[in-house]
Structure formats: structure tokens, C-alpha cells
Amino acid sequence: MSYRIVEERLGATFECADDDVLLRAGLRASLPLAYECNAGGCGSCKFELLEGVVHDLWPTAPGLSPRDRGRGRRLACQSQPLSDCRIKMVGRGEATPAPAPARHAANLIGIEDLTHDMREFRFQTRTPANFLPGQYALVSLGEGAPRAYSMSNVGNDMGEWHFIIRRVPGGAVSSSLFRLALGTQVALDGPYGNAFLRPEVERSVICIAGGSGLSPMIGIARGLDRATLPPERTVDFFYGGRRAEDICGEALLRDLPRLGRQVRFHPIVSNDSVSWSGRVGMVHELVADLPAEAFTQTEFYLAGPPPMAEAVVSLLTRERAVPADRIHYDRFF
């Protein structure tokens, strides 16, 4: 069964299945709704419910402040309709060339360990994997809320969706994923996300990843490897981890047929140890060391935990005057 949703800001109407949420149903209808994480954390998908009834899947989601709640605001990524509704999104979304998201069954067809707690998972759907480099999908293992994971590969006709996932100690979904046997079926919903590769922009590229933010940045690098790059365009890849044993990704970059020898890899760890001879500190500190000209004609892509992403964005916009439209990022709430 589905309900009819009228969105007042765009003056648009769309159908939302009773097991779907307002945000994703609107995006499936190719509406440019405001959102970022799809996980209740960022607050970008706030809306006002003007008429109708919705079920709030996560009443304490951190994306809404007490003030928002007091004003009756809700999160479209956490709202399932219980009737036809009239809503008004608070923020303005952007139209993107990204494919509209859809729900698929996917089989686990491959796994590869990258570190003690990071693994690349390969899933396959029956239809082509239609997404842009750097986007993410929602993965569900039966009951419970889905989790967002970013693709580390590029769209393809074989239906392959690859994700580099960190096992979070005590994490409900990431820990369960590490126990899955090959051949297990999961529910996959995507693609989502606006931090995708803009291959048409002929600037040098800087990718900045923290922790599991590696996955979409490898996806961006793989996408760049397929694009036609002017010879003078450079690619720098910054990666921050906690300890020496967390650092990985350089081998994946070196495997790229075209960019492999050209890309510059800059690792940094926050905790010093005898097994580490490189830089110690936070990844934005390493980026801050770049010469001034590195910030003037460069496209920035970044992903990782919110504090890391916010430190990098603050450095770029406030201290290095990089225009916001040259910075593309996902915060992993």
C-alpha cells in the first residue's frame, strides 16, 4: 500500500509506500529534496508536517535539536507515512545527475581483508549497479534500521556494489556484516549522496579520508582513473587513521591502471608508535601544510567521521578561502 505525499516547497506530489520513508520515496521520484546522511544524524532533511500522520522511526535521532522538536519539525529520513500527507521541507535540495535510488536484493559474492578491522565487501544485484563514484547505499540485514555504506567501486553492468567497511566494536550492523557467509542475501537501497565525482571539472583533485571514509575516496579515485584527465592534473590522496595498523588504501590506489603511479598518497596517524615513521596528528593538519597554490584550482572530496569532516571543511573555507562549491563531502554519522 502507498500514500500520496504533497511537498509544498517544490509544489510536487509523489507516492510513498507504507514501508518506505518520505525522504527516500521523494528521491525515488527524482525530486531534489534536501538531505545528506539518510541516517538521522545530520538534520538536513527536516520538514514540517502540515497535514496527515507519520510514524517516527527514531524519535531521539540526533539530527533534530530540542528546539526543532519543540517547533514540531521531523526528519524525512525517519518518517514513515500512516496516511496521505502534506509536508514542507525546511531546506532546499539540489538537482543532481545521479540515478534515482531503488531497492534491490544483493548477494555477498566476495570479501577481502584490508586491515585488522577494515574489509572490502562485494555484493551483486541482478540489475546493473547504476551509481556515480563516491555515492552510498543503505544496507539492511533483516530487522532494524539500515546503515549507510559508500561504494568503493564505480557503476557497472555486472551489478557489483563494493563497500569498504570498518568493524565497529559492538556495532549492530557492521559486526554482523563481518560474520556473513558468501552467498548471503541482504537488502540494498541506493544510490544516495551528493558527494559524487564531478569528472567534467578539469581541476586537480584532493581526496581526504578519515577511517572508513576510505571507501568513497577509493571510489572517487577509481572514477578518476576512468575519466580523461588532462596531463597536468594531479591527484593527492590524504588518509588519516588512529594507529599504524589502520593505514591502508595505498595498494588499491597503486593498482589503478592509469593513475596508479601518479597519485600521491599522504598517510597520517593520530597515535604515535614505534612501528610508525610517518606524520603524527590529524588529517586536516597534513592538508594545512600544502602550499597556498594547492588550494586555488583544486576540487576537494572528503569523507569520514563528522569531527574530521568539519575540521577539514573549516580549514578549507575559513583559512584557505576555498569556495564551498569546490568541496564535496559526506559525514559518516
Ligand X SMILES: Cc1cc2nc3c(=O)[nH]c(=O)nc-3n(C[C@H](O)[C@H](O)[C@H](O)COP(=O)(O)OP(=O)(O)OC[C@H]3O[C@@H](n4cnc5c(N)ncnc54)[C@H](O)[C@@H]3O)c2cc1C
Binding footprint of ligand X on the chain (CB under 6 A): 37, 39-41, 57-58, 136, 145, 147-150, 163-166, 168, 171-175, 212, 215, 330, 332-333
Pick what 10 binds: ligand X, ligand FES, none; C-beta below 5 to 8 Å, kind-dependent.
none
Q: Which stretch binds ligand FES (CB under 6 A): 1-9, 42-50, 81-89, 224-232?
A: 42-50
Q: Which residue, 89 or 303, has its beta carbon nearer to ligand X?
A: 303
Is 42 an interacting residue with respect to ligand FES (CB under 6 A)?
A: yes
Q: Which residue, 23 or 282, has its beta carbon nearer to ligand FES?
A: 23
What do you get for the CA distance between the two ends of the chain, in Å?
31
Count the neighbouring beta carbons within 10 Å of the beta carbon of residue 293.
8
Closest CA to 123 of 165, 66, 62: 165
The DSSP bridge partners found for residue 332 are none
For residue 104, the one-letter residue type is: H
Q: Which residue, 170 or 257, has its beta carbon nearer to ligand X?
A: 170
Pick what 238 binds: ligand X, ligand FES, none; C-beta below 5 to 8 Å, kind-dependent.
none
Is 154 an interacting residue with respect to ligand FES (CB under 6 A)?
A: no
Instruction: Determine how β-strand 204-210 pairs with β-strand 298-304.
Output: parallel
- Cell numbers found for residue 67: 528546539
Is 77 an interacting residue with respect to ligand FES (CB under 6 A)?
A: yes
5, 7, 28, 35: residue in contact with ligand FES (rule CB under 6 A): 35
CA dist., res. 239 & res. 115, Å (int): 14
- Cell numbers found for residue 39: 541516517
Is 38 an interacting residue with respect to ligand FES (CB under 6 A)?
A: yes
Q: In this structure, what DSSP letter does residue 170 have?
A: T
CA dist., res. 105 & res. 187, Å (int): 5
CA dist., res. 119 & res. 178, Å (int): 8
20, 54, 63, 137: residue in contact with ligand FES (rule CB under 6 A): 63
41, 219, 240, 241: residue in contact with ligand FES (rule CB under 6 A): 41
Site string for ligand FES, 114-153 (x = CB under 6 A): ----------------------------------------
CA dist., res. 244 & res. 303, Å (int): 20
| Residues present in the chain in total | 333
22, 25, 49, 75: residue in contact with ligand FES (rule CB under 6 A): 75
Closest CA to 217 of 198, 241, 189, 196: 196
With CB under 6 A as the rule, give the number of residues binding ligand FES: 13
Closest CA to 25 of 196, 192, 148: 192
Q: Summarize as ranges the residues that interact with ligand FES (CB under 6 A).
A: 35-38, 40-45, 63, 75, 77
